[in-house]
Structure 1
Amino acid sequence: MASLGNARGARPALTVTPIAAACAALLWSFAAAAQDGAPSTVVVTGIRGSIESSIAIKKESDSIVEAITAEDIGKLPDSSIAESIARLPGLTAQRVAGRAQVISLRGLAPDFGVTLLNGREQTSTSNDRSAEFDQYPSELLSGVTVYKTPDANMTAAGLSGTIDLRTVRPLDRKGRTIAFNLRGEHNSNKELNSGWSNKGKRVSVSYIDQYLDGKLGLAIGYAHLDTPGQQKEYKSWWWGTDNNLGPGNQDVTALKGAEVTATSRKQVRDGVLAVVDFKPNRDLRSTLDLYYSEFDQKEIMRGVMWNSAGTVTYRDPRIESVGGIRMLTGGTLVNLEPIVRNDYNTRKDEMSAVGWNTRLRLNERWSVDGDLSYSSAKRREMTSETYAGLGPGGTGAADNNFGFDIPLGAGLPRFTPSVDLANPALIRLTDVGGWGHDATQHHPIVEDRLGAAKLNVRGELDGFFRDVQAGLSYSKREKSHSDVSQTFWLKNNRALTTVPADLIGPTTSLAWAGIPGVLSFDPRAALATFYDKRPVDTDVAQQDWEVEEEQAIGYLRLGIDSALGKVPLRGNLGVQYVRVDQTGMGKAVSGNVITPLRGDHSYHDWLPSLNLNFDLGNYVHDTYLRVGMAKTVARPRMSDMRAGVSAGVSTTTLRWNGGGGNPKLEPWRANSFDLSLEHYLGKGSYVSAAYFFKDLKSYIYNQQREFDYTGFPNSSAVVPISNIGTINQPANGQGGFVRGIEITAALQFGMLWERLDGFGVQASASGTESSIHPNGPNTKEKLPGLSGVVANLTMFYEKNGLSARVAQRYRSAFRGEVTGLFAQRAFSEILAEKQVDLQLGYEFQDGPYKNLSFLLQVNNLGNEPYETRQGSPFASGANAPERYTTYGRQVLFGVNYKL
């Protein structure tokens, strides 16, 4: 089992930071002052009410679940839904562009989970299935339930777990509610690029009411987000031993390329939600859910990069050893050709979902309900690159005194160029890297559509089984990805071009990495003025793919409500039959010859499940032992299911060889066992310990296999000796286990001592390990998304309108999926993170300002860096430093008002 100790230097998994301790002392003084005028009756709302509601959901569920509920309408406890989910036991988030975006459940990558909205599977703007949670405004959600064990009537469930985002049901509330939220935002990294603000705002409004004597309910919500991004980043390219360091140093590994950049973003999201809830009588209820969001992101990236290979030499080299590897960590680079970058990128995401559920009670014992849903997601992206420098690559225009100092531990490296990289007389537009083009643009497009229908019949029974449910569901999903790659040449036969003064802006400072500044200009205007388009690049044709997937499920579920001797027992027993028909489409690429490809496959599974909840209250008050057993599946990554292949015939072996996707992939399959012991100490307090074991029968990883190239285009003159060749493609292979423990506690201190009423703490820690190697059984890489240790600590105070919360989220190092070159999938070793957030608030509870509240939030209080090491280790197992990024401290001040 993974240790719950240190996972990064001497940094512990859980610590109470000095700021947290100071806040606790401040809360104590507030509490003492507040008690003087404390009312005799306390209404539990806000943070404490949210905790109590979440605990009630966990306690009453037949399955093993975790839950979050909103403190009030439009007020989940964090600034994003992903951050709230990441505080739950066994769950953790990966930061993307500074935001908690994707969620790993129990050590498995996001691909192994499923995300629902009101019980319905959702499409995604990502290249695969995993949801990007920054698409969902937290202000429009009433809560989240995470199912760690499956239930047979859940026709969309994940292998690692299922995250169900919930919106309000207006007929479940009493009376009209109108809520307004307004927050201003400030980023501590300041304005890194001129004209790109570090200030933003959030606005949301919610309306809930009932009509026709409580028979018709309506909920409408709107949330607007305008948030800045200010990112300082250093990134290494690759490391190698061909360094011209002389005799005795042929084994020294040196940095062969790097970049230092300042990125500014403007991120605008608008989300709209509507719920129509109709219940004309006790036998019929029909609910229509509508959701739409649009996320528009623009960013400018300016910086400098360089390639240290080729003719670059070194003066005064400093060599250090790490993990048995001798590494060049300091000195002076000679004959370096720096590349100044000015890039402009855009991304627009649209998501929509509609769901209609109708439940009809046929008589006192039987009911039927039907559900129809449709979800769609679209992403339109544009990434552009421009290059400038001292001269074209290989012409000798170089910096001959470029100093560098690279720490092997934490912290930013320092670079000291000897030329002014912001001087437009020196830095001119050209192909500095010798890449054969002077600028590029990529236009990735993702479209995802999912329609589903479900029919469920439920009947009440007498005896050991309390009810029976049976049903059918059908869904069809279509997802496509395409990418148009456009290169540019400078006009006048690729002439070295000076950027005119009217396109030049204030210098972008990189002083935080030792570089005073770089030339900053408008890349859009430069592309339109100085460049000509080249023919579209066919190298990315393999990125054009489409996958169609049809899934039919039949299920039977028996609810259990009985007793074993003195032990009351609840739970459910069920089975699903699942059939999937899938089609992968793509392109065969051989040189400049492109031909459409298609592949089909079908498979089926029987998925039994059992959830048992033993009430041990006759032995230990308010204590429950839960057991879950199930066979679960996770469908393959959709990008892996593409039919696209790029191949050619070897001139030496006269045989075909290539690489591509595999439309005949079958899912990951696992047998799961869960055990949870929970002891409740009241409405707002409990302790629990859980163990889980997942035996994956297979794992999908790239393998070298035989492949029939009959009919494949051959752009060369070489005639193969056989149509049977080899291909490197994802395929089902050897599996392994994932197992772990989870320890959780929530405690409201008022139950221990009356003077501590209002104070409380929530804490959880999990340790996870796996025997799976994702690139095959003989490799060393770790399972993507698996952090050996995940821990959360939240201290809070809430009483008499005053509230405060200090929360710390910890995640040990893990192998994470990142966006690589040309927006393709890549992996990095992401180092441990410990992020602290602070929230202070006050709500008027009576008088003319009743229900008016103020809120101060500070996210990423310590400006925790995002650090990575290279995903492919050296032979010794050591990883070289790769990335060091800071996103700044996010400060929000808000006003909330409820009518």
Structure 2
Amino acid sequence: MNLNKTPIAAAVALAILTLSGPVAAQSSAAPDAAPSGAVQVVEVTGIRASLQKSINVKKNADTNIEVVTAEDIGKMPDKNIADSLARLAGVNITYNSALAFDEAERIAIRGTPPFLNQTTLNGHSLSSGDWYIGDQNTNTRGISFGMLPSQLIGQAIVYKNGRADIVEGGIAGSVDIMTRRPLDQKKHLVGEVAVGAAHATLAGTTDPQLSALVNWKNSAGTVGVLAQVFSEKRHLRRDGQENFGQGLYLKTQAAADPAKGGNAALVGKRLPSQLNSAFFEGVRERQGGYLGLQFKPSKALDVNVNVFSSSLSADNYNTSAFAELATVVNNGGLIKDFTIVGDVITGGTITPNPTRVNGPTLQFAHQARTGAKSTAAYHDIDLKWKPSAALTVTAKAGATKGTGETAGQPGALYEIFDKGITYKLNDDGRSPADWNITGTDLTDMKSYRLLPNVGGAIYTLDKESYAHADGALKLDAGALTTLKFGVRASAHVNDKVTVNGQYKLPGVGAGGSSQANMDANYPYASWALPSGSFPSDYAEGMDGNFPRNLPRYDAKTLIDWGNANLTYDPVLNKNWGSSATVTEDNRAAYVAQDFELDKLSGNIGVRWVQTKVRSDFYRALNNGALACPALATSCTPGTGTLISQGAITSSRLSGYLPVSVSNTYNNLLPSLNLRWDVDRGLIARMSLSRTLGRANFNQLAGSLSGVNDTTFTASSGNPYLKPITSNNADASLGWYFAPRAYIAGSVFSQRIHDYVKPGTSIQSLFNITKFANTKDAATSYSDYTVSSSSGKKARLHGIEISGEQPIGAGFGVLANLTYVDSKDEDGIALVYTSKITYNLRAIYEDDKFSASLAWNYRNKYAIGFSGNGVDAVNPVSLVRTGANYADAQGTLSASASYKLSPTFSLTLDASNLLNPVRRYYAITEEMPLGFYKNGRQIYLNLKARF
């Protein structure tokens, strides 16, 4: 088969990619790249050189991969590695539980959740923590890309097909991020210093950005050292309006009861839980360094020692004033002058129950999260030894550790009681709402009372020690080229500790202080009052008439007040019920055979994986089992004590009974990957594989609560979740018709088993009531129906189209489109799956100047579920379940670089240029969950190279 590489053919290819323009296809072949399985990071400079290197690696790989390569030492295409990866076909970014901060934190591959994608650094695991308290609370498996400075990276490869020699953990794909190695550099001494600034337009601040890198190798090329340090500070601000749930389903409340003055037309309708004015500010400062040592005393031996550490301090201050619509109605309030769209009450006036006193109406929360930080670190040794021309042995051993911490939330939470609320969901919920508290001046602090509520502290730890040993034996056996084999072992621990905050008041025990106690001990005259207000440009560019000129503290005043009046005692205030530990001992072994027969090549192999997992969590006990009376003391044994069963009595919040569950799973992961050189530049690939991922740690060991020894029900994680496996098929065709020019298409399918989503499970739990009667621990276990995560079947299939084309005079275009369709056995799309994702990127480069403009778009995707995600109404409770969504999102970013001289250059990077309002909603668009704006981020750097 012979394909004529003409300009017309190239033009047709670009039309498929929705690109147009003059085409200058060339007939010369792309230069050779490193063979598959032996990728070497070499020095390339400039946009075009990096794109050429990425294409070469993609073209020569034996499986379907995507590649992004640094444009120069310390210069990735984006400031955030996740953003660079999201420009590849099939890759999306996520913002975690914060939903809409200004920096991507994790990635999702081909529509699968981030925790089911494996990310390695130089082929080994990396642990990282989270800085935001919401993410610390969910303690996911996915690493935080916010911990990795982009200048550290030489190249990143996304493997979309399973292979026996790839570390398990990603069911749809695995990302391997590769740092540079000292002996890869051409010169004996190379260095770079970058001094710059980061400007956040919404925060209105400019902060310093510093980094330095030096690479040295001796004249013999046998010893090399690469050292890098970085310090990057940046302010962030987020303006928003939020609704913390789809609220109340009106059924028997007074608002829907005609006999009590309500209206039956409201029965079964959804009411927003709360509507707020949210203002978030923070400072993030990332500091750390990397040290790489390489020893190559002979051609047969290559030893690398690597040490990396990154710390992100992220103190933040959040103010949220939220009208409590559902609470007022639940307390007997009435809804008047209402409007309904679909099943959502989109507007009305809510009047409080006149017979109720101290009915909450609006909460005004000021929380300074001090000591918020995260870390990521590792140290390892990587050895490559060639004892003979035929045999290559590689080995890795090391340890990695990541932490997340919010040391406390010193602040003050206030409440307005017994008032009415007016609201209107604008544009049928698609724009920020109008809302206000009737007859109340929200700027006057005398309108409020101080609440006893206090935010808690969280400490997370994720660590792993690992060892790999791999071999590759070249065979002289016809079509059989190389036999690969290896083993891996790892010991992983994920731990979360939660500490409650409390006011320092006498007699405060498990339940905290009463409102009467607060009123008596903290009258208005004792408060530290806010000295400022929301900025004048708060929520600028967001529709809706909602409170904007609200009081706000100076952060130091708030912190000083909190530290003086709150306690976070790590022993007495430890909330064991929200703490958990998951321990995993994983083993793996594999064998794979590479083969080549004329134009057909590939590999076939199998990987055995053993997962030993232990989940430790805790059940809170009632005071009949353990009495917890006072602030200054821990719990003491009471009637029906469970001390003999190892009950923990050190916390004043409750007594706690430890629960420990261990399981072992064995899985075989076969794979077959084929590569066919159809014709010069035309390459077909096919893959069949089984891949494996593991449930999130909070899904395995969640908080055990609501245990009822009569109905045998509870709510918890599920320590019996099996590893998630997927049977995958992938076929692709790529035409590499000129240097830096190609078009490729893929079709893929996955059949997933034990996909994790909300549901129920049957778990054997210790029955305290039975034990109180029998005093026989061995017979005191019962089966409970537990609201928890459960394993489901799911399927996913899709199409990818990607391409790149130089169009002359230094210009070029890149584009890709991904379509994914997914459903679990309940008929619901997988979380984080967008059906349509596409990228468009235009580049220009000459000898001195280069520039890039990139657009990334994805349509709506589910971020979580109400119930099991099925859109249905319970006929008894009238509660509607379904999925919560992020609306379609598009981002525009740009970068430019100018060489002032062979030594000096200027770079400019800008992200979120269009500064859109990000929107989230519950089940239908009429029920908003949040609207957010972050502003633009602009980075300017002066770089000096030697």
Q: TM-score range by the shorter chain?
A: 0.7 to 0.9
1:518–1:161 Cα change, 3 Å = same
1:786 partner letter: T
TM-score (norm 1): 0.84
Q: 1:536 to 1:216 in 2, by over 3 A?
A: closer
Contact 2:411-2:559 within 8 A present in 1 as well: no
Equivalent in the alignment of 2:265 = 249
SS of the residue 1:742 aligns to: strand
Is the contact made by 1:668 and 1:699 (CA closer than 8 Å) also made in structure 2?
Answer: yes
SS in structure 1 at match of 2:265: coil
Once the two structures are TM-superposed, the CA of residue 332 in structure 1 deviates from its matched residue by 7.3
Which residue of structure 1 lines up, in the alignment, with residue 714 of structure 2?
Answer: 658
Q: How does 1:483-522 map onto structure 2 within 5 Å?
A: 483-488=498-503, 493-495=517-519, 497-498=523-524, 504-509=530-535, 510=538, 512=540, 514-521=546-553, 522=557
Q: State the partner residue of 1:759.
A: 811
Q: Tell me the secondary structure at the aligned position of residue 938 of structure 2.
A: strand
2:427 counterpart (389, 400, 407): 407
Q: Report the Cα distance in structure 1 between the residues aligned to 2:705 and 2:561, rounded to whole angstroms.
A: 34
- Select 2:910's aligned residue among 844, 858, 861: 858
Q: Distance between the aligned counterparts of 1:146 and 1:390, measured in 2?
A: 50
Mean Cα deviation higher: 690-699 or 248-257: 248-257
1:523 match: secondary structure: helix
Deviation at 1:408, TM superposition (A): 2.6
Per the alignment, residue 665 of structure 2 pairs with 603
Verify: 1:421 aligned to 2:442, yes or no: yes
1:14·1:791 contact (CA, 8 Å) conserved in 2?
no
Per the alignment, residue 104 of structure 1 pairs with 108
Instruction: Write the letter of the residue equivalent to 2:899.
Output: E
**Structure 1 position 461, deviation (Å):** 1.3
* 2:77 paired residue number: 77
The alignment covers a number of residue pairs equal to 809
Residues in 2 aligned to 1:15 and 1:810: alpha-carbon distance in whole angstroms: 14
Contact 1:761 1:793 in 2 (8 A): yes
The answer to whether 1:307 aligns with 2:324 is yes
Q: Distance in 2 between matches of 1:574 and 1:166?
A: 24
| CA displacement at 1:401 relative to structure 2 | 7.0
Q: Specify the alignment match of 1:840 in structure 2.
A: 896
Q: CA deviation at 1:83?
A: 0.6
Rounded Cα–Cα distance in structure 2 between residues aligned with 1:55 and 1:688: 11
Aligned match for 2:396, one of 368, 371, 384 = 371
CA contact (8 A) 1:279 1:286 kept: yes
CA shift in 2, pair 1:533/1:480, >3 Å:
closer
Task: Describe the SS at the equivalent of 2:55.
Answer: helix
Assess, with a 3 A threshold, how the Cα gap between structure 1 residues 890 and 705 changes in structure 2: closer, same or farther.
closer
**1:70·1:143 contact (CA, 8 Å) conserved in 2?**
yes
Root-mean-square deviation over aligned CA pairs: 3.2
For 2:526 and 2:460, locate their aligned partners in 1 and report how far apart those are by CA, in whole Å.
37
Distance 1:254 1:745, change over 3 A: same
- Per the alignment, do residues 735 and 531 of structure 1 end up closer, same or farther by CA in structure 2, a change over 3 Å counting? closer
Over residues 604-649 of structure 1, what are the superposed CA-to-partner deviations in whole Å (9 max), with x where a residue is unaligned?
11111111110011xxx30100111111111222222228633534
**Offset at 1:502?**
6.8
Residue 83 of structure 2 aligns with an amino acid whose one-letter code is: E
Alpha-carbon shift at residue 139 of structure 1 (Å): 1.1
In structure 2, what is the equivalent of residue 325 of structure 1? 343
Structure 2 partner of 1:40? none
Select between 630-639 and 533-542 the one with higher mean Cα deviation: 533-542
Q: Given the superposition, is the C-alpha separation of residues 536 and 290 from structure 1 closer, same or farther in structure 2, using an over 3 Å criterion? A: closer
Change (3 A) 1:532 1:683: closer
Query: What residue in structure 1 maps to residue 285 of structure 2?
Result: 268
| C-alpha contact (below 8 Å) 1:331/1:404 kept by paired residues | no
- Alpha-carbon deviations, 1:83-129, whole Å to 9, x = none? 11111100000134221111110000011111100000222325121
Q: Aligned ranges for residues 636-655 of structure 1 at < 5 Å?
A: 636-642=695-701, 645-646=704-705, 648-649=707-708, 654-655=710-711
- The separation in 1 between residues aligned to 2:911 and 2:168, in whole angstroms, is 33
Q: Render the CA deviation track for 1:688-715: whole Å, top value 9, x for unaligned.
A: 0001111113323444344333465779
Q: For 1:41-79, what per-residue CA distance to the aligned partner results, in whole angstroms no more than 9, with x for missing partners?
A: xx9831111111111111121121101110101100101
Cα distance between partner residues in 2 of 1:64 and 1:499 = 68
Counterpart contact for 1:590–1:713, Cα < 8 Å: no
For residue 344 of structure 1, the aligned residue among 347, 368, 376 is 368
**Could you say if the C-alpha distance between residues 467 and 536 of structure 1 is closer, same or farther in structure 2, counting changes exceeding 3 Å?**
closer
Aligned 8 A contact 1:741 1:767 in 2: yes
Offset at 1:674? 0.8
Counterpart contact for 1:601–1:664, Cα < 8 Å: yes
**Match for residue 472 of structure 1 among 480, 483, 487:** 487
Deviations 1:354-409 (A, max 9, x none): 12111111122122222112111111114527455575x4xx4x3x5756553335
Counterpart amino acid of residue 759 in structure 1: F
The CA distance in 2 between the partners of 1:538 and 1:489, in whole Å, is 12
Measure the CA separation in 2 of the matches of 1:338 and 1:647.
Answer: 28
C-alpha displacement at 1:879, in angstroms? Answer: 6.1
Letter in 1 for 2:345: M
Contact 1:629 1:672 survives alignment (8 Å): yes
Contact preservation (8 Å) 2:430, 2:925: no
Pick from 116, 120, 126 the counterpart of residue 124 of structure 2. 120
Residue-by-residue CA offset, 1:861-889 (whole Å, 9 max, x unaligned): 1102221112xx3xxx6661110011111
CA contact 1:91–1:103 (8 Å) conserved in 2? yes
1:159 aligns with 2:190: no
2:602 alignment partner, one of 571, 579, 585: 571
Of Structure 1 and Structure 2, the greater strand share is in 1
Asked if the contact 1:320–1:327 (Cα under 8 Å) also holds between the matched residues in 2, the reply is yes
What is the alpha-carbon distance in structure 2 between the residues aligned to residue 683 and residue 713 of structure 1?
74
**C-alpha separation in 1, matches of 2:833 and 2:349:** 37
| Change in 2 beyond 3 A, CA 1:722/1:280 | closer
Which consecutive unaligned segments of at least 5 residues does structure 1 have?
A: 1-12, 26-42, 192-197, 432-437, 751-756, 821-825
* 2:230 equivalent among 211, 218, 223: 223
Give the TM-score of the pair, scaled to structure 2.
0.80
- Alpha-carbon offset, residue 719 of structure 1: 12
**In 2: Cα distance, 1:680 partner to 1:262 partner:** 50
* Residue deviations 1:124-176 (CA, integer Å, cap 9, x gap): 32512111111111111112111111221223441111011110011111112
List per-residue Cα deviations over 1:213-268 (Å, max 9, x = no partner). Answer: 21111111112110111100111123333546843532454323222111111001
* Contact preservation (8 Å) 1:333, 1:404: no
CA distance in 1, matches of 2:939, 2:340: 43
Identity of aligned residues (%): 21
- Cα distance in 1, alignment partners of residues 525 and 857 from structure 2: 46
The answer (yes or no) to whether the contact 1:152–1:555 under 8 Å persists in 2 is yes
Shifted more, 854-863 versus 736-745: the winner is 854-863
SS in 2 for 1:639: helix
Of residues 844, 869, 872 in structure 1, which corresponds to 2:921? 869
* Matches of 1:314 and 1:666, distance apart in 2: 48
**Change over 3 Å in CA distance of 1:239–1:524 after alignment to 2:** same
Instruction: Return closer, same or farther for 1:682/1:585 CA change in 2, 3 Å cut-off.
Output: same
Q: 2:313 is matched by which residue type in structure 1?
A: D
In 2, Cα distance between equivalents of 1:384 and 1:507: 20
- The runs of at least 4 consecutive aligned structure 1 residues that moved more than 6 Å come to 13-16, 332-336, 489-492, 499-502, 532-539, 713-722
Deviations 1:390-444 (A, max 9, x none): 75x4xx4x3x5756553335432233455332334x244412xxxxxx2313111
CA, structure 1 residues 707+337, in 2 after alignment: closer, same or farther (shift >3 Å)? closer
| Alignment correspondent of 1:202 | 209
Q: Which moved more, 1:67-76 or 1:445-454?
A: 445-454
Would the aligned equivalents of 1:590 and 1:714 in 2 still touch at CA under 8 Å?
no
**Which residue number corresponds to residue 61 of structure 1?**
61
Cα distance in structure 2, aligned partners of 1:819 and 1:177: 55
Unaligned runs of 5+ in 2: 1-15, 23-42, 131-138, 354-359, 507-515, 623-653, 868-881
CA contact (8 A) 1:453 1:475 kept: yes
Deviates more, 1:128-137 or 1:479-488: 479-488
**Offset at residue 318 of structure 1 (A):** 5.0
Cα 1:142–1:316, aligned 2, differ >3 Å: closer, same or farther? same
Stretch moving more, 108-117 or 599-608: 599-608
